[in-house]
Amino acid sequence: MSRDGHFEPGRREMLRLAAGGAGLVALGWSPLDALAQTSLKIGTIGAGREGGALGTAFAKAGHKVMFSSRHPEALKDLVASAGPNASAGTVDQAVAFGDVILLVVPYTAVEQIGRDHGKALAAKRLVMDISNPIPRRDGEDFVKSVDAQGGPGLVTAKWLPGSHVVRGFNAIGSASVGADAKKSIGVPIAGDDQQAVALASSLIKEIGFEPVLVGGLAMGKYLRPGTPLAGEHSPAEIEKIAATLK
Ligand SMILES: NC(=O)c1ccc[n+]([C@@H]2O[C@H](COP(=O)([O-])OP(=O)(O)OC[C@H]3O[C@@H](n4cnc5c(N)ncnc54)[C@H](OP(=O)(O)O)[C@@H]3O)[C@@H](O)[C@H]2O)c1
């Protein structure tokens, strides 16, 4: 931990971060630069079960969180329970507000969100993509089409061009996200942008989980319900499972 209580990666985490793509030192950038921050502004697109739970956890960890909905007036109870760091707005307002965006919507909404907000999202330090294509909810054909294009992860990056996307929390239920989160639970993450991965790792640590980088966004296809990485695993178990996946 650093002086301000934020996560500083040890050698093991550095190796995990470096495993995801181009070398960290190539541009003279230190991951500690990205992690040396205090309170961030986090906007959520989606404030349902999972977006509400994650936003609340980040607000309680000291970040300013703006939840969004197409009906922000419906978020009063959520804002009240998340405490003084929380507020609610429209999707436009949350996108403008956040340095970091949590994308927590049905996957069928992602393409349109990219059309409406892609330029603004590309300017953010991190878009954490928690959204999943789910056949029962989104339709078999839709999910097949996402998978044919490389799966969620690559498709999110395609629909949000230029955004610094990291997939995470995709198969950890809203009931497990919160003040009682167990330290031993790992969160598999996938991303191509080293700074965004470092920032996502720092944030995940702050709310009591252990980030484990399993690879670039192409590995995002395994970060969803129904895959071997779904559910709750220790970091060591995640590494072991991820080693069997391509
Ligand atoms: N629930 C879980 O435990 C869990 C765990 C991991 C991942 N996930 C994933 O997280 C995503 C959200 O799941 P959830 O369970 O939180 O769903 P939910 O409770 O139904 O909430 C969905 C949220 O998405 C918003 N939304 C829907 N369409 C939108 C659009 N076109 N533009 C902007 N916002 C839109 C809704 O906002 P409005 O108020 O505007 O309708 C609502 O806040 C899904 O992809 C799911 O697979 C869920």
The predicted-structure confidence for 92-117, as pLDDT tens digits, reads as follows: 999 999 999 999 999 999 999 999 99
Beta bridge partners of 181: none
Q: Which of 119, 117, 129 is nearest to 92 (CA)?
A: 117
pLDDT grade, residue 61 (50/70/90)? Answer: very high
Is 60's pLDDT higher than 60?
Answer: yes
Say which range, 25-39, 46-60, 121-135, 194-208, has the weakest mean pLDDT: 25-39
Q: Which atom in ligand 1 lies closest to the alpha carbon of residue 175?
A: 3
Ligand 1 contact, 173 CB (< 6 A)? yes
On average, the pLDDT of the chain sits at: 87
Check residue 208 and give its pLDDT. 92
**Cα of 107 from ligand 1 centre, angstroms:** 8
Check residue 169 and give its pLDDT. 97
d(CA 54, CA 104): 9
The share of the chain scoring above pLDDT 90, in percent, equals 81
Is 5's pLDDT higher than 50?
Answer: no
> Which of the listed residues 75, 104, 167 should we mutate to test ligand 1's pocket, taking the one with most ligand atoms within 8 A of CB?
104
Give the number of residues written for the chain. 246
Ligand 1 contact, 12 CB (< 6 A)? no
Ligand 1 contact, 91 CB (< 6 A)? yes
pLDDT grade, residue 184 (50/70/90)? Answer: confident
Q: What would the pLDDT profile of 132-160 be if each residue is shown by its tens digit?
A: 999 999 999 999 999 999 999 999 999 99
Q: Which atom in ligand 1 lies closest to the alpha carbon of residue 113?
A: 32
Q: Which atom in ligand 1 lies closest to the alpha carbon of residue 53?
A: 16
Check residue 246 and give its pLDDT. 85
Check residue 12 and give its pLDDT. 41
Check residue 37 and give its pLDDT. 55
Is 183's pLDDT higher than 50?
Answer: yes
Ligand 1 contact, 69 CB (< 6 A)? yes
Ligand 1 contact, 44 CB (< 6 A)? no
Ligand 1 contact, 94 CB (< 6 A)? no
Ligand 1 contact, 51 CB (< 6 A)? yes
Ligand 1 contact, 157 CB (< 6 A)? no
Is 28's pLDDT higher than 80?
Answer: no
Give whichever of 8-12, 23-27, 182-186 has the largest mean pLDDT.
182-186
Say which range, 30-34, 62-66, 206-210, has the weakest mean pLDDT: 30-34
pTM > 0.85: yes
Check residue 52 and give its pLDDT. 98
Is 36's pLDDT higher than 50?
Answer: no
